[in-house]
Amino acid sequence: MAMIGFCGLVCEECPAYIGTQNQDRSLLEETARRWSSPEHEIQPEDILCDGCRSVGKRLNRFCSECSPRLCGLERGVKNCGLCPEYPCKRLQELWDVIRAPEARRLLDRIRAGRG
């Protein structure tokens, strides 16, 4: 079973997760370059990750600060699709930033009992 992040992204499809799990330094370097901007340079060490739902393990900096993740951990849900308040403002704000419509579609399917 796939590790589905609170927001609906699938961890096993994330290059940061894949690079970390496979100890693939070149993938981590390439991902850090792609995710960097002129205002904010990302280092490979910033994106080491053992998955969104992991606690006490390596977590990429973006996920460690993720409002839906922190809320989901506090509420004790496996992902936001299982939360009584789904979809909420903080989740919509994240989706607006990550531009990953597949994440919402996956959580919608989970919510409907088809995920």
Cis omega before residue 87 (within 30°)?
Answer: yes
Within 13 Å and on the Cβ side, how many CA atoms surround 23? 0
Residues 6 or more apart in contact with residue 24 via CB below 8 angstroms: 18
Report which secondary-structure segment, H or E, holds 18: helix 15-21
pTM to 2 decimals?
0.83
For the record, the structure tokens of 82 come out as 């299982």
CB 107 within 8 A of CB 81: yes
What local confidence, expressed as pLDDT, does residue 33 receive? 96
What local confidence, expressed as pLDDT, does residue 1 receive? 67
The beta strands (E) that lie in the chain are given as none
Walk along the chain (115 residues) and give the pLDDT tens digit of each residue: 688 999 999 999 999 999 999 999 999 999 999 999 999 899 999 999 999 888 888 988 888 889 999 999 999 999 999 999 999 999 999 999 888 899 999 999 999 986 6
